Structure 1
């Protein structure tokens, strides 16, 4: 269960000065474009994202996606899909958060992971003519599913609007991350980003029903384990079940419940009215308070209606058995044409404030006048370089292509944005003195022109994701440069006479064509050479003594690099051909993180001795076992062993107790030693575990896709959260204390047990206990004591 930890009151911490009209207009345009983009990408078939089914449970299908155009830092693409009963008017009404009370109720019903919330700007308020159209800027703090990692915060542009897509009416709520000076990262939190996210509701072919798609593409920032991000986002997309439940609840509250004398007497029915299952001592009878019929527990559910628990059969809950109040409808005369909309349609889709309309026309006229004067060679530079006191020029990838953002006016950092920049060169360009940051990515830059010079004030230079084949010696880098990136180009080497700036600390040369390590500046702290065909590294290679982070992922290495510096903290060696686990002398004692996923390691040593190691990632190797006398330093918190060939854990498992998390997915483990003290979080998907008995389970556990048939005499801490798949337990017994903890953890929370129990088998195995139900789940538990 995600428990939103408290953060300091947010609203008082944000100063929100009025936006410039031009900036406000730009945000409105971006919001509408973001919503249109979300609708297009929510298509499961024939859309820009390749979706594949991940799971199907409780009516929610969860898909994972591959988006070739997503930024490289987007670490997850998921969507949840569900058919629910309701109308677009009802769906849109759930997201009207215009008051503190509305926000409080929304968080309690649908977003328990939201720790804090602030509305910073309302750009396009709802109007009587367009009650479902809204654009604004929000700040959110979101609780992570593990207390071991910091919560995240987001600065988001939100857009809500009606649309039509291929003739189908719908309504959507989109989110995309933006940067605003008035919304800096919140102290104590990590600023994360949503590339594309939101809810899309389509009218279904079944009258009175909607298809709901909840899409999330995010960058959670920081070195979070993939399983943790995935678990958090799967719970988030699965929360659309709560929307369906709440809409049904509202409709059921609108119809009268029958009194006791109006119910069909229990004695007159021998079988369930809906499924015809015969009643017996093991199949209890229930009376539906809406239609009065007698049904079994599998064909009914307890609903909380106006503070009272009421039994309602599934037929009535879907509206098929009773006369429910009519669904609200509305005919919007001008929905957004999401399939074919262009910038002009977005601009005029909704009536904007008068000042906005004037600015819009001025902008359109300016664009038209500029187009008439364009020359074949990058005319935008003339306008950009005419701005006073420029401090930064950088490209930003958005859902609408690449934008050029220019900050000028010195310390004021006024922002000018130029959209859809696809190709730029530097011929004839003279960058101004005072420029500190220059980032030109994804603009098909092919060369640095002869005679070109960088301003001496430059501290950050990023030319990644272009088409450069070399860097000229005749264009020296400024001595004050601290960050330099040429990643994702086609560079093979540097000239022997090339000299590095004396203050350079971060160098990124990833994904080029280097076959050997270049001569490195002595001041480096971070170096990325990933994605280059290095194959081997000279044994005499001299690394900068100041180096703390080294990335050599996917460099075709079979042997570890030698002579690594004594201050190294982080080393990335994933996706190579390394077959032998590193020895104690291969890495310095300062090492904190070792990434060796997707290599060819077959065994582990008995003792791992780096005293400051915290994270060891060994996923996707060929490890078959863990030594019986295996030990780890007390500093290790995370051990990742997914997708190996491990069949069991050793009897001596004291080392497990020191960990905060271990992942063992996709192995062949069949059992645990009952004496093992497991870490706080463990992932065991896709193993062969058949029973969990006489042991202490962790707070967070994923045992999906295991043939588990028995859970007996286990203990677990408060706030337990299990991720499971659909298996049936023949035995399930707990102490009364553990039953109470499990009951509290599953009471209207994100913890939805997917497994069921064979009630007759559980009862037969329950010697001295009492069989109890777990809420309204199809789960019986033998409670002892």
Structure 2
């Protein structure tokens, strides 16, 4: 039987991860978050940005030169929206394959399919907004049918922290290679692209009740795609920031309607409305062990490790990462330090923690705007 998208949740048969593999992905995740936060700085960051598109509230930039490699391009988008950080984190809750596929349906501008493969760091009551997973995703171009779809095997890192004393949350992606996720070029005509750094940075704005949203993509799409087509594809992905604004408004309206319905039902019955909870419902860490080993759940494997802090050198800039935020704040005890010797270095996991209120970092996401010349469209061969 021929394959077609979307793929079933159990399509990829991934074996449990070893403790060493789990620890390695944790290190990659930490570096991924650090690099994304540094590159997403519009002003005084490691990337020099040029305006590519100005769409009212949404500003889209392209980095001068190339991205991480000679074959990669780097783009960034910034927008301010009405909203709370907790609303965004609820919107992006995609832990299971079912949630990931629902997310793809809602954010259908560029995404086609998604499957959760592994959970490296599961959510915990002390840090419910932090989660690290490995996922397979498929993306399409605005010229779908003319430009071949791309798939990715990605390490997805969700972490809450603080910037300049303000709450912030990051979703960072970095491509990884897994033997259990082979190329699907022959079976589905998908070209495996590579994300060096991609994701979103959400920070509470100086204006109460607003959020500063930044999206960054530093990737190599592989295949044969002209610059103008690649730019248009990334611009479409950047426009997902506008979708976030709309989805937050929709969720707010839906919540208001549900609250009104619940209040009406309570008034009619004279008692509160309750819901059924299945005895088999998962609890925190139900499918996880806390000794570094992994166990199979319905559509992913769960592994556990602790918190992370540190510094990173990105593009010659020494960037303080963050102080991680939990319901209870933890930080390395005095006498423990972390340093990074190079852009590719990783930060050791701290084994000792004490309550701490995070300090601010000096990260800025606004910058000067400058025009860019129109894109020239030459005859091309698309793949």
Fold match by TM threshold 0.5: yes
Q: Counterparts of 1:228 and 1:339 in 2: how far apart (Å)? A: 36
Match of 1:57?
A: 55
Task: Please point out which of 34, 46, 49 is paired with 1:48.
Answer: 46
Spell out the pairing of 1:114-133 with structure 2 (5 A cutoff): 114-133=111-130
Q: Which of residues 152, 155, 165 is equivalent to 1:157?
A: 155
Residue 729 of structure 1 corresponds to: none
User: Which of 183, 186, 190 is the aligned partner of 1:185?
Assistant: 183
Aligned to 1:554: none
Task: State the shift of 1:182 in Å.
Answer: 1.6
| 8 Å Cα contact 1:61-1:82 kept in structure 2 | yes
Q: 1:43 to 1:337 in 2, by over 3 A?
A: farther
**Aligned match of 2:235:** 234
The alignment's C-alpha RMSD in Å is 3.5
Larger relative contact order, structure 1 or 2 (CA cutoff 8 Å, min sep 6): 2
Give the Å deviation of 1:341.
9.8
Alpha carbons 1:194, 1:219 under 8 Å: kept: yes
CA distance in 2, matches of 1:214, 1:151: 21
Task: Determine the structure 1 residue equivalent to 2:79.
Answer: 82
Cα 1:91–1:341, aligned 2, differ >3 Å: closer, same or farther? farther
CA distance in 2, matches of 1:15, 1:105: 22
Match of 2:378 among 640, 654, 672: 640
How far off its partner does 1:336 sit?
6.5
Aligned to 2:276: none
Query: Structure 1 pair 349/170, CA: closer, same or farther in 2 (3 Å)?
Result: closer
In the alignment, the residues of structure 1 paired with residue 226 and residue 66 of structure 2 have an alpha-carbon distance, to the nearest angstrom, of 22
The structure in which a higher percent of residues are helix is 2
1:124-167 deviation line (CA, Å, top 9, x unaligned): 01111111100010001122333123211101001000122233
Q: C-alpha distance in 2, partners of 1:112/1:6?
A: 19
Could you say which residue in structure 1 is the equivalent of 2:107? 110
Question: How high is the TM-score relative to the length of structure 1?
Answer: 0.33
Are the counterparts in 2 of residues 118 and 138 from structure 1 also a CA contact under 8 Å? yes
Alignment of 1:361-510 (within 5 A): 400-401=343-344
Where 1:401 maps in the other structure, the secondary structure is: coil
Equivalent in the alignment of 2:93? 96
For 1:350 and 1:205, the matched residues in 2 are separated by 19
SS in 1 for 2:13: coil
Is the contact made by 2:104 and 2:114 (CA closer than 8 Å) also made in structure 1? no
TM-score by length of 2: 0.65
**What SS does the aligned partner of 1:251 have?**
helix
**Closer, same or farther in 2 for the Cα pair 1:337/1:8, shift >3 Å?**
closer
The Cα shift of 1:17 comes to: 0.7
User: Alpha carbons of 1:46 and 1:16: their partners in 2 closer, same or farther (altered >3 Å)?
Assistant: same
**Worse-superposed segment, 179-188 or 130-139:** 179-188
Between the two proteins, the alignment pairs up a number of residues equal to 282
Does residue 202 of structure 1 match 2:199? Answer: no
Question: Taking structure 1 as reference, are residues 102 and 15 closer, same or farther at Cα in structure 2, changes over 3 Å only?
Answer: closer
Cα distance change on mapping 1:29 and 1:337 into 2, 3 Å: closer
Structure 2 stretches of 5 or more lacking a match? Answer: 258-305, 315-319, 327-335, 337-341, 347-374
Alignment match, 2:370: none
| Alpha-carbon distance between aligned partners in 1 of 2:130 and 2:313, rounded to the nearest angstrom | 17
Secondary structure in structure 2 of the residue aligned to 1:640: coil
Q: Which runs of 5+ in 1 are unaligned?
A: 257-333, 352-363, 365-398, 404-618, 621-638, 642-658, 662-785
| 1:373-772 equivalent positions in 2, closer than 5 A | 400-401=343-344, 640=378
> Is 2:114–2:137's contact at 8 Å kept on the other side of the alignment?
yes
**What is the DSSP-based 3-state SS (H/G/I as helix, E as strand, rest coil) of the residue aligned with 1:13?**
coil
The verdict on how the C-alpha distance between 1:30 and 1:198 changes in structure 2, with shifts beyond 3 A counting, is same
Equivalents in 2 of 1:104, 1:13: separation in Å?
14
